[in-house]
């Protein structure tokens, strides 16, 4: 991205602009940006990422569930309807989720449904760090985890997604 900003620009942003720029680094969680803006100034982009991680670590159990529920299903209905956030659309495309065979689509759909029925939130994996086969393997393997394990894994995947989204905005 050619219009990246530096950390001093992040630190000097008006609050509303900060919330707008960073409002979707955690999917559809503008309240994260509203909270993190108060942690400025940041030394560097690593420090900025750490502030979002701290937010995720410190929110209540219910807020963690809300964060997890705000993520779309991988290759799901929103993707099919073209209604993903621009960030999610790009991430799913990079993982190859736009080019699934009918068999892969069927497997992912059924595994997503089964996972969501068990845990109450969508399967979350950092799509930019994975491809179709590793996503399917993750859906199969992680289904056997406990709710607590999946909340922790899901939040850690959200942190990876968040970091990559921040690195798309702020020069390192």
**pLDDT tens per residue, range 111-143:** 999 999 999 999 999 999 999 999 999 999 999
pLDDT of residue 3: 74
pLDDT of residue 40: 97
pLDDT of residue 172: 79
Residue 126 annotated to the active site? no
pLDDT of residue 2: 56
For 141-163, give one letter per residue: b (16+ CB within 10 A) or e: ebeeeeeeebbebbbebbbebbb
| pLDDT 10s digits, 141-165 | 999 999 999 999 999 999 999 999 9
Per the model's pLDDT, the better-predicted residue between 113 and 81 turns out to be 113
The stretch 42-57 carries a mean pLDDT of: 97
- Residue ranges and CATH numbers for the domains of the chain are 74-151 (1.10.3330.10)
pLDDT of residue 1: 46
Q: What is the mean pLDDT of the chain?
A: 94
Nearest to 33 by CA among 55, 14, 5: 55
What percentage of the chain carries pLDDT values higher than 70? 99
Find the catalytic residue in 64, 71, 142, 165. 71
Residues in Cβ contact with 24 at an 8 Å cutoff, skipping those fewer than 6 apart: 30, 85, 87, 165
Question: Per-residue confidence at 79, pLDDT binned at 50, 70, 90?
Answer: confident
pLDDT of residue 65: 97
């Amino acid at each position: 991205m050619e219009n990246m900003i530096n950390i001093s620009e992040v630190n000097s942003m008006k609050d509303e602009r900060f919330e707008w720029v960073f409002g979707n680094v955690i999917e559809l969680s503008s309240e994260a940006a509203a909270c993190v803006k108060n942690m400025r100034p940041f030394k560097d982009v690593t420090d900025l990422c750490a502030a979002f991680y701290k937010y995720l670590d410190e929110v209540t159990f219910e807020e963690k569930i809300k964060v997890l529920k705000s993520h779309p299903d991988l290759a799901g209905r929103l993707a099919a309807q073209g209604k993903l956030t621009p960030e999610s659309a790009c991430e799913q495309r990079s993982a190859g989720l736009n080019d699934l065979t009918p068999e892969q689509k069927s497997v992912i759909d059924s595994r997503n449904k089964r996972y969501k029925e068990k845990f109450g939130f969508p399967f979350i994996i950092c799509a930019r760090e994975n491809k179709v086969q590793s996503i399917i393997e993750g859906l199969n393997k992680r289904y056997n985890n406990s709710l607590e394990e999946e909340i922790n894994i899901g939040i850690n995947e959200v942190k990876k997604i968040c970091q990559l989204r921040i690195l798309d905005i702020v020069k390192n």
